[in-house]
Amino acid sequence: MVFRALETAFRGLMAQQRAVDTANHNIANANTPGFARQRVQLVPSMPYTVPAFNRSGLAGQVGTGVLVASITRVRESVFDLQYRVQSQALGEASAQVDAYAQIEAVFNEPTEAGLGALLDRFWRAWQAVGNQPEDLAARAALVQDATTLATNLNRMRRQLGELQADAATKLSLQVSEVNSIAQRLAALNQQIVAALATGQTPNDLMDQRDLLLDKLASFTGVTIRTLPNGAVNLYLGGYPLVDQDQWFPLAVQVSGGTASIRWQGTNSPVALERGSLQALLDTHNVILPGLVQKLEAIRDALANEVNALHTTGYGLTDPPGPPPGRPFFVVTPSGDLEVEATIVANPQLIAAADAADQPGNNTIARAIAELRSKLVLNGNTATINDFYNTLVAEVGGASQTAQVTRDNQRSLVQAIDRQRQEIMSVSLDEEMANLIKFQQAYSAAARAITAVDEMLDRIVNGMGLVGR
């Protein structure tokens, strides 16, 4: 019976040591992302029933000490699911906010250098020419203002095109990150299944897997299915991204200005859920082309309306007869707006007059200046300035909506994460207290061994010496 006491004390020693180890592990990982604190589940070991033919003369069952039943993660998977659902929307809104921040920078409004102010300067310059059609300085100033306007319109178009290329690059980077996550998840699945098969609980591997799933959620929503063997399978639009220890890579394809995400194996398109990938696709395929189209509508309206009048007019040096039909703006094959080259070289050719040899005639210049208030865009319901102002307001509105969504979504994700952290994060105070608790229990178990040792000493060395 004394030997059993030794075994009981030894079990206590081992269990407390395991508990101290776990507290140590928790402290070491206090700042590890995705780490859930671990707890040693202590259970009393199977009690000993004193054998007897009838009822034992001795009292009940005798305790045999403590066992470590398992080491478990303290984690609520329900919050993980909520966290991932909200992360998807956060990822999408964040990507939109980034895109719109860059778009707003391209528009550079409201400033003195924005296209709106340049349009105003352009119309004013025509009026200045109208006030002094003979004056070469006014004409040269008009050429300057028109060139500045055209250059900036071209710059905006080009920069929006560059943003589109940026979006494609970002898309590639994110897709390769998704691939990398899928690859790591497949590897983790393999390790976890192997560990579980041998009856171990791979807490830290499962934390890593949950962290990867958290990360993946901001890119796109995936359907997660946990298998009985402990592996998780991920599905995108019904097709597996990760199937146990297999994974299927995605690829970005850009053709004809449209980007799409496809399965590398079958080259069929991926049905994405919300997330930053979808936001980037929208930016690349819908938002930016739409803006470019509107800028081109402004460009075409400017060129067509101004030219329609300008071609009927006469420059200072044009001879009598039919009008020379000189355009003011030309749209190059690459889509740039430019002031007609001969006018840049010789501003006298600006057709301010509707008749030849009348230097004071400003009929055309006035008519062009009045285009400012002509409804030429949006089905002849908006002036060029109105159309542009609306465009800026639309960009601002969409950007603001994305920001508000992102901020709300971030609060939501943070609130859920806070709930998760309440449960799973490591409290140093708690671990220190546990450490002391287990350390004391360890010392006590060691003391119990000493006591048993003394008892044995008494039996072995101190007994049977009567009368010696």
Partner 1 sequence: MRVTHGMLVDTLLRNLAGNLARMERVYQQITSARRIARPSDDPVGTATVLRLGSAVQEIEQYLANVEQAKTWLDLTDQALTTVGQSLQRARELVVQAANDSLSADDRQAIWQELTALQEQIATTGNYAHAGQYLFAGTLTQTEPFDLSTDPPTYQGNSNPLSRLIDRGVSIEINVTGDTAILPVLQAIKQARDAVAANDPAAIRATLSTIDAAHTQLLAAQASVGARVNRLEAQRDRLLDAHTSTLRLLSEAGDTDMAEAVTRFSKEELTYRAALQAGARAIQPTLLDYLR
Rounded Cα gap, residues 198 and 71, in angstroms: 15
Q: Which is nearer to partner 1, 190 or 389 (CB)?
A: 389
CB of 454 to partner 1, least distance (A): 29
Three-point CA angle 397, 401, 403, nearest 5°: 115
Rounded Cα gap, residues 234 and 57, in angstroms: 61
Q: Which is nearer to partner 1, 345 or 433 (CB)?
A: 433
CB of 36 to partner 1, least distance (A): 12
Q: Which is nearer to partner 1, 35 or 328 (CB)?
A: 35
Would you tell me which residues interact with partner 1 (CB under 8 A)? Answer: 30-31, 100-101, 104, 107, 109-110, 114, 116-117, 119-121, 123-124, 127-128, 130-132, 134-135, 353, 355, 357-363, 366, 369-370, 372-373, 385-386, 388-390, 392-397, 399-400, 403, 414, 418, 421-423, 425-430, 432-433, 436
CB of 231 to partner 1, least distance (A): 30
Cβ-based neighbours of 202, under 8 Å, separated by 6 or more: 191, 192, 195, 196
Q: Which is nearer to partner 1, 176 or 439 (CB)?
A: 439
In this structure, what token pair is assigned to residue 97? 């906010």
Q: Which is nearer to partner 1, 2 or 101 (CB)?
A: 101
Tokens 């997660």: give the residue: 224
Q: Where are the beta strands (DSSP E) in 294-384?
A: 329-331, 337-339
64 vs 6, 61, 437, CA distance in Å? 10, 9, 21
Rounded Cα gap, residues 358 and 257, in angstroms: 50
Q: Contact 395/100 with Cβ under 8 angstroms? A: yes
Q: Which is nearer to partner 1, 45 or 427 (CB)?
A: 427
CB of 99 to partner 1, least distance (A): 12
Q: Which is nearer to partner 1, 262 or 374 (CB)?
A: 374
- How many CA atoms lie within 13 Å of 288's alpha carbon, on the beta-carbon side? 30
Q: Which is nearer to partner 1, 111 or 266 (CB)?
A: 111
Q: Which is nearer to partner 1, 50 or 433 (CB)?
A: 433
CB of 124 to partner 1, least distance (A): 5
Of 23, 24, 41, 75, residue with least CA distance to 425? 75
Chain centroid, CA 176 distance in Å: 14
Q: Contact 298/283 with Cβ under 8 angstroms? A: no
Q: Contact 245/190 with Cβ under 8 angstroms? A: yes
CB of 422 to partner 1, least distance (A): 5
CB of 30 to partner 1, least distance (A): 7
Q: Contact 222/241 with Cβ under 8 angstroms? A: yes
Q: What is the DSSP string of 231-294?
A: -EEEEETTEEEEETTEE--EEEEEETTEEEEEETTT-PBP---SSHHHHHHHIIIIIHHHHHHH
CB of 437 to partner 1, least distance (A): 12
Chain centroid, CA 263 distance in Å: 21
Q: Which is nearer to partner 1, 96 or 233 (CB)?
A: 96
CB of 426 to partner 1, least distance (A): 6
Question: Around Cβ 379, how many Cβ atoms within 10 Å?
Answer: 7
Tokens 């776990």: give the residue: 22
CB of 312 to partner 1, least distance (A): 16
User: 377 forms bridges with which residues in the sheet?
Assistant: 382
Rounded Cα gap, residues 144 and 326, in angstroms: 18
Q: Which is nearer to partner 1, 101 or 165 (CB)?
A: 101
Q: Which is nearer to partner 1, 7 or 357 (CB)?
A: 357
CB of 162 to partner 1, least distance (A): 19
CB of 188 to partner 1, least distance (A): 24
Q: Which amino acid is at 331?
A: V
